[in-house]
Amino acid sequence: MEKRLVPWIKGIAAAVAAMLIYAVPLGLMTALVLLVAAMEEGSNVLSAQTVPLSKAVILLSEGVGFQGGSIVMGVTPLLLTVLLIALIRTVCTRTSTDPRAFVSGAVVWLFLQHMLMNGLHVRLEDSTGVVMGKALLIYTLGYLLAAVPHMPLLAVAKNYIRRYASAPVRRSIRVGVRTALVLLAGVALVGLGTVIVWIALGHHQMSAWFDALHMQAGSRVLMCVIGLAWLPNVCLWAVSWLFGAGFSIGEAASYTLWSSTTQDLPPLPLFALFPQAIDHDALRTAVMLIPLGLGVAVGLTMLFARSGFHIRLKQDSLDMRSLLMDFAYPAGAFCISAAVLSIVNAIVFPLANGSLGSHRLAHVGVDVRQATNAVARPCSIGLFIAWGAVLAITAVVFAVRWGMARHAAGSHSSSAKPLGEDQVTEKPESTHRVVNSTPQKEKQGDDEPTATTGLGVRIP
C-alpha cells in the first residue's frame, strides 16, 4: 500500500519544490527592486507591495498579463518562462516521471496558482480558467521534457519506425530536423548579435533617458537586470527587424529597415535601444541576405558532412540511378526542414508579443505572418540553392565522365577492328592446309599395300 502512494507523494513534492525554488529568488529580487526604489524616493510604501508584486510576476512569467492603475503589462518575459519550464523538468527528473506523479503534481500546481491569484493588488487580464490552463500547460511541458526520454511508448515508436521505414528515410528525417534546429540556432545567434549592436549604438541615448527620469545608479543597474527577463522577446523582434519584417510598439512606434517612427513612447529607458533605419541600400540588402546565406551554408554542410548525407561522386562512377537517389533524399530532408522552420517560427513569434496598454499600446511586437515569412522563406530557399548548385556541378562532372567513357570505348573498338579481319583471313588458310594434307596421307597409305602385296603367282 505504501509503495502505491510513493509516486503520488513524489508528484506533490515535485510541484511544491519547483514553486519554492522559483518563487523565493524571484520574490527576493522583487523586494530588492522595491527597496532600492523606496530608498531613492524616500518612501516606505513600495516595500509593502513585495508579496503581491511577486505573485503577479510569477503569473506574468506563465503568460498571464496584469493591469495596475494606468500600467498594463502583457508582454511575457520569455527568459523567466524558459527557466521555469527547465526547473520543472529538473525537479521531475530527480523525483519521479510516473504518470501518477504527474497527476498529483499537476493538481498541487493548480492549487498553488489559485493561491497566487488571491491577494493581488492588480487586475489579471485573463479569466480564472485561462490562468489555470496556462499554468497547466507550463507544468505539462516541464514534465514531458523529463518523462518522454524514458517513456516505453518512445521505444515502441522507434521500433515501429525502424521496422517500416528504411535506413535512408530515417536518416533523411533525422537530418531534416537537425538542419532546421541548426538554422534556428543560427537565427537566434544573429538576433542576439543584433541586440548587442543596438546596445552598443544606443546606450548613450538610454543614459539620457535615465537622466531625464532622475534615476540613480542603483535603479539603473536593476532596470538593466530586469530587462534581461525580456531578452528573448527583444531578440525575436531584432530578427524580424533585421530580416525585413520589422516590429512595432503599438501605434506609438514602428521600426523597419527603411523607416523608424516614434510618437509619445512610454518613458521606459529600454525603448531607447531600439534602432534607427538603415540609410545605405547596399548595407540594407546585405543584412536581408543573411538568412539566405545561412541557409546556403547549412545546406552545403549537411550535404557534404559525415553527419549529414556525405555526398561524394565516386571515381569512374556512371550509375545514374544511384546518383539520382543520392540527391532525392536530401531534397526530402530539406522539405522537412522548411516545414519545421515555418511551424516553429509561427509558434515562437506570437509568444514574444503582448500589450502595454488597451488602446495605442494594445499590440507590441511583430506581425507573425510577415516575420515567419521573413525567416523561414529565405532560409528554405538557401537550402534548395545549395542542393541545386551541388546537383548541377555533379551533373556536369557526370556528363564529362560519361562523354570521356564513350569516347574511350569508341577508340578501343576502332583500334580492335583490323585485328579481327586478319584473324578471319588467316583461319581459312590453316583450314585449307589441313584439308590438303589429309588426302595425301590417305593416298600414301593406299599405294603402300599395292607395292608390297601380290596375287601369289610366279611367272617362270
The 10s digit of each residue's pLDDT in 148-181 is: 888 888 888 888 888 888 888 999 999 999 999 9
Cell of 141: 511541458
| Residue % of the chain over a pLDDT of 90 | 50
Average pLDDT over residues 17-30: 94
Domain annotation covers residue 210? yes
Cell of 326: 543520392
Domain annotation covers residue 446? no
Which of 54-68, 77-91, 361-375, 407-421 shows the lowest mean pLDDT across its residues?
A: 407-421
Q: For residues 170 and 134, state if they share a domain.
A: no
Which of 46-55, 57-66, 351-360 shows the lowest mean pLDDT across its residues?
A: 46-55
Average pLDDT over residues 424-431: 45
Q: For residues 257 and 361, state if they share a domain.
A: yes
Q: For residues 145 and 276, state if they share a domain.
A: no
Q: For residues 123 and 236, state if they share a domain.
A: no
Proportion of the chain in helix, strand, coil states, percent, rounded to 5:
75, 5, 20
Q: For residues 191 and 149, state if they share a domain.
A: no
Q: For residues 76 and 225, state if they share a domain.
A: no
Domain boundary among 116, 133, 153: 153
Segment holding 364, helix H or strand E: strand 364-365
Closest CA to 288 of 278, 297, 298: 278
- Predicted local distance difference test score (pLDDT) of residue 434: 45
Domain annotation covers residue 395? yes
Residues 6 or more apart in contact with residue 140 via CB below 8 angstroms: 102, 106
Q: Highest mean pLDDT range out of 205-209, 242-246, 417-421?
A: 242-246
Residue 302 predicted with pLDDT over 80? yes
Average pLDDT over residues 368-376: 94
Closest CA to 171 of 320, 328, 313, 294: 328
- Predicted local distance difference test score (pLDDT) of residue 449: 45
Q: For residues 278 and 241, state if they share a domain.
A: yes
Distance from C-alpha of 141 to C-alpha of 156, rounded to nearest angstrom? 21
SS3 411: helix
| pLDDT top residue among 22 and 208 | 22
Domain annotation covers residue 403? yes
Domain annotation covers residue 434? no
| pLDDT top residue among 409 and 73 | 73
**Domain of residue 44, residue span:** 1-153
Q: For residues 141 and 199, state if they share a domain.
A: no
Q: For residues 145 and 179, state if they share a domain.
A: no
| Residue % of the chain over a pLDDT of 70 | 85
Domain annotation covers residue 460? no
- Predicted local distance difference test score (pLDDT) of residue 357: 81
Q: Which residues pair with 71 in a beta bridge?
A: 68
Q: For residues 390 and 259, state if they share a domain.
A: yes
Domain boundary among 153, 188, 209: 153
Residue 146 predicted with pLDDT over 90? yes
Domain annotation covers residue 258? yes
User: Is the separation of the CB atoms in 130 and 108 below 8 Å?
Assistant: no
Rounded to 5 degrees, φ, ψ at 298 are -65, -40
Cell of 105: 503534481
Which of 20-24, 140-144, 210-214, 416-420 shows the lowest mean pLDDT across its residues?
A: 416-420
Q: Mean of the per-residue pLDDT values for the chain?
A: 84
| pLDDT top residue among 194 and 202 | 194
Domain boundary among 118, 153, 188: 153
Maximal CA-CA distance, the chain: 178
Average pLDDT over residues 180-194: 96
**What is the per-residue pLDDT across 89-107, written as a single tens digit (0 to 9) for each?**
999 999 988 899 999 999 9
Which of 132-136, 218-222, 237-241 shows the lowest mean pLDDT across its residues?
A: 218-222
Q: For residues 340 and 386, state if they share a domain.
A: yes
Domain annotation covers residue 176? yes
**What is the per-residue pLDDT across 322-339, written as a single tens digit (0 to 9) for each?**
777 788 999 999 999 999
Residue 321 predicted with pLDDT over 60? yes
| pLDDT top residue among 33 and 448 | 33
Residue 455 predicted with pLDDT over 80? no
Residue 26 predicted with pLDDT over 80? yes
Residue 413 predicted with pLDDT over 70? no
Q: For residues 343 and 284, state if they share a domain.
A: yes
- Predicted local distance difference test score (pLDDT) of residue 309: 87
Report residue 314's pLDDT band, with 50, 70 and 90 as the boundaries. low
Number of domains in the chain: 2
Angle between helices 231-242 and 78-95 (to 10 degrees): 130
- Predicted local distance difference test score (pLDDT) of residue 213: 83
Across 110-224, where does the E strand assignment appear?
123-124
